[in-house]
Amino acid sequence: MSKKTIMLVCNAGMSTSMLVTKMQKAAVAQAIDVTIFATAAAEATNKLQEQKIDTVLLGPQVRFMQKQFEEKLTPLGIPIDVINMTDYGMMNGEKVLGQAIAMIQSVKINS
């Protein structure tokens, strides 16, 4: 799998920044070539225009925005989902990374 980019979205991009660090450690441990970053919901559209994003994960606190993001991302073939609340609360980078990779792979299978 070529290098992929995962964008995490939350209210201010702060709480997901901690999760990004855990996900990056998990990616290194599993030898997965991935770029992971967090952004505030208000900046997400700009980030999508600035770089190629392979999948988007929403923090549980912004799950109410899922439909709005789906309308933007589905036509672009970018999968989106909400991070499992327990995994988010526990900052389980390995599990969330697995969720993102599965989403990316499902797009490849379906296309």
State the catalytic residues.
Answer: 10
CA atoms of 86 and 72, how far apart (whole Å): 27
**Angle formed by the axes of helices 15-29 and 93-110, nearest 10°:** 70
- DSSP H helical ranges for 9-92: 15-29, 44-50, 66-73, 85-89
What's the Rg (C-alpha) of the chain? Answer: 13
Inter-residue contact 96 to 23 (CB < 8 Å): yes
